[in-house]
């Protein structure tokens, strides 16, 4: 991991949202939707306190990760590291922060969602010890709110 006094990790607070959303938009493989609005991310962070993190270099956000749980399993969403800061251990450290936080409340397994064509992302997750599963599939349904 990069040893630099100007690099710091902290809990993701809603005040960082604008910088984080800009980072997510910059990074390939991050699928954003209406679910990633500021109000929805605020709700997610409030529902999962101390589970999501940012990495800052000289006060600029260079990495971010969302993490939470359903009381039984942990989930990671939107891990992103700025392209200029990759291969320095930032992504690995963000993931480890999430896993430690989840483990501290008794969560024993964590899942994540990744696009099948995100080969760089799949390579990263395999490299840090995660296993891609072929025995389960994700099935979704959009639930539209009635007005």
At 87 the pLDDT is 92
pLDDT at 1: 42
- Res. 142: pLDDT tops 90: no
The conformation of residue 57, written as its DSSP 8-state character, comes to E
Strand pairing partners for 81?
A: 63
* Contacts for 55 with CB less than 8 Å, ≥ 6 apart: 7, 8, 9, 61, 62, 63, 64, 81, 85, 90, 93, 94
- State residue 2's pLDDT score: 47
Total Cβ atoms within 10 A of residue 78? 22
Question: In terms of C-beta density within 10 A (0-12 exposed, 13-18 middle, 19 or more buried), how is residue 119 classed?
Answer: exposed
CA nearest neighbour of 74 among 117, 108, 49: 108
pLDDT of residue 44: 98
* Residue range 45-76, pLDDT digits in tens: 999 999 999 999 998 999 999 999 999 999 99
Residues 120-141, mean pLDDT to the nearest whole number: 90
| Top-confidence residue, 1 or 43 | 43
How confident is the model over 76-119, as pLDDT tens digits?
999 999 999 999 999 999 999 999 999 999 999 999 999 999 99
What digits encode the pLDDT tens for the residues 20-37? 999 999 999 999 999 999
Q: Is 7-127 a CATH 3.40.630.30 domain?
A: yes
List the domain boundaries for the chain.
Answer: 7-127
């Amino acid at each position: 991991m990069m040893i630099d006094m100007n690099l710091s990790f902290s809990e993701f607070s809603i005040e960082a949202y604008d910088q984080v959303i800009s980072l997510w938009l910059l990074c390939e493989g991050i699928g954003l939707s209406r679910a990633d609005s500021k109000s929805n991310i605020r709700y997610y962070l409030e529902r999962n306190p101390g589970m999501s993190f940012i990495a800052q270099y000289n006060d600029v956000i260079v990495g971010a990760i969302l993490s939470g749980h359903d009381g039984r399993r942990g989930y990671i969403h939107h891990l992103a590291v700025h392209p200029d800061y990759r291969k320095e251990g930032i992504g690995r450290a963000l993931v480890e922060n999430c896993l430690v936080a989840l483990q501290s409340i008794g969560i024993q397994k964590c899942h994540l969602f990744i696009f099948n064509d995100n080969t760089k992302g799949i390579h990263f997750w395999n490299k840090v010890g995660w296993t891609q599963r072929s025995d389960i599939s994700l099935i979704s349904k959009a639930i539209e709110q009635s007005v």
